[in-house]
Amino acid sequence: MGKINIDALLKGHHRPLAKAISIVEDRKQEHRALMEEIYPHTGHSHIIGVTGSPGAGKSSLVNGLVQHWRRNKKTVAVVAVDPTSPFSGGALLGDRIRMKDHEDDDGVFIRSMGTRGSLGGLSEACQDTVRLMEAAKFDKIVIETVGVGQSELDIMKTADSIALVLYPSGGDVIQAFKAGIMEIADLFIINKADLPGVPQLKGELEDLLHITHVPGKWEPPIISTVSTEKEGLKEVIDALAQHHQYLISSKTKSERRLSQKETEVERRLMERIKDELAPLIQKELLQEHGDAKSNGQGLDPYQLRDRIYKQWRKQVREEKGE
């Protein structure tokens, strides 16, 4: 690992943490060893996912939440997975000022993750980044993402508490519902409550929540905020704390983390198998393509699948020397 000072990272120092995140993002060779080393130190933070369409006011909200937590001496790390995020490089002037609010504060660490490469790779990098932040002992870790697509949903599912930020504009709720975010949100925030249309949006939400609610389970609150005026933020902080308490007392937190781990292991395993199979599949398909040219349709997809599968198994057996 050479250059990364793990002890300093575990104490929450920013420099080694930033370096470690770069290693994760670039998928450098040290990545695996690094993750192994920090893993035993993870699991203690409250991970909060903040999602919602671009312009809903997620970053403004997060900015306000960070200030609140800091006043209560909580340390906070933010990872913004949003190309339009104020925390990203190409930010607008006003956004830079917001980020500056926390610049000299050691208890706040902010990192943006660009859509370098595929979104799939991004969700993995994000997951590992959150782990590094946990190892660095931040009390609160916020993941901000625009809520679209499977990868974003995967990212959100790594959070303990998920907040969906909406604003009175129409259409948003149905979109969130379709994207499957409604079902996983633990908290609904109607931001821009200074604009007209709040009661309608709230009514719409309540109707949908009525359908999705499971008796005996956590009932997601709906909170109105004006992030730019810091209105309603205390209520959001309290609701998040309550949800965290609920997760711990109902043992849901450990259950959720275990199921997240299961999903992650499954995904990583499938990727590995896919990588291993890729050359064989390509070779077989190429051959099949040639065969099909000379004698019509060739094998049907099931037969071809079985042939490739058998060959792969044979290959594995040979490797094991059976």
Ligand X SMILES: Nc1nc2c(ncn2[C@@H]2O[C@H](COP(=O)(O)OP(=O)(O)O)[C@@H](O)[C@H]2O)c(=O)[nH]1
Tell me which residues touch ligand X (CB under 6 A). Answer: 52, 54-60, 84-86, 191-192, 194-195, 226-228
95: its two tokens: 């956004």
Report the residue number, 75 or 85, with the smaller CB distance to Mg ion.
85
- Least distance to ligand X from the beta carbon of 208, Å? 21
From 38-46, 85-93, 217-225, 281-289, span contacting Mg ion (CB under 5 A): 85-93
Report the residue number, 58 or 131, with the smaller CB distance to Mg ion.
58
- By CB under 5 A, residue 85 contacts Mg ion: yes
- By CB under 5 A, residue 191 contacts Mg ion: no
Subset of 269-308 contacting Mg ion (CB under 5 A): none
Sequence-distant (≥ 6) Cβ neighbours of residue 84 within 8 angstroms: 54, 55, 146
Q: What are phi and psi of 122, to 5 degrees?
A: -65, -40
CA dist 100 and 269 (Å) reads 41
Report the residue number, 226 or 239, with the smaller CB distance to ligand X.
226
Please choose, from the candidates 82, 57, 78, the residue with its C-alpha nearest in 3D space to the C-alpha of residue 225: 57
- By CB under 5 A, residue 53 contacts Mg ion: no
Contact residue for Mg ion among 45, 48, 52, 58 (CB under 5 A):
58
Count of residues engaged in binding Mg ion, rule: CB under 5 A: 4
Residue whose C-beta lies closest to ligand X:
57
Specify burial of residue 47 (Cβ count, 10 A radius: 0-12, 13-18, 19+): buried
Report the residue number, 51 or 59, with the smaller CB distance to Mg ion.
59
Other beta carbons within 10 Å of 26: 13
- Spell out a b/e string for 186-223, using b for 16 or more CB atoms within 10 Å of the CB, else e: bbbbbbbbeeeeeeebbebbeebbeeeeeeeebebbbb
- Least distance to Mg ion from the beta carbon of 153, Å? 18
R_g over Cα of the chain: 23
Please choose, from the candidates 140, 142, 177, the residue with its C-alpha nearest in 3D space to the C-alpha of residue 61: 142
User: Which of Mg ion, ligand X, none interacts with 288 (beta carbon under 5 to 8 A by kind)?
Assistant: none
- Least distance to ligand X from the beta carbon of 57, Å? 3
- Least distance to ligand X from the beta carbon of 54, Å? 5
CA dist 56 and 221 (Å) reads 18
3-state SS, residue 77: strand
Report the residue number, 97 or 258, with the smaller CB distance to ligand X.
97
Report the residue number, 23 or 59, with the smaller CB distance to ligand X.
59
- Least distance to ligand X from the beta carbon of 48, Å? 15
- Least distance to Mg ion from the beta carbon of 210, Å? 30
CA dist 165 and 58 (Å) reads 7
Contact residue for Mg ion among 45, 51, 53, 59 (CB under 5 A):
59
Q: Pairing state of beta strands 46-51 and 161-166?
A: parallel
Bridge partners of residue 86, in order along the sequence: none
Report the residue number, 58 or 102, with the smaller CB distance to Mg ion.
58
Residues of this chain that interact with Mg ion (CB under 5 A) are: 58-59, 82, 85
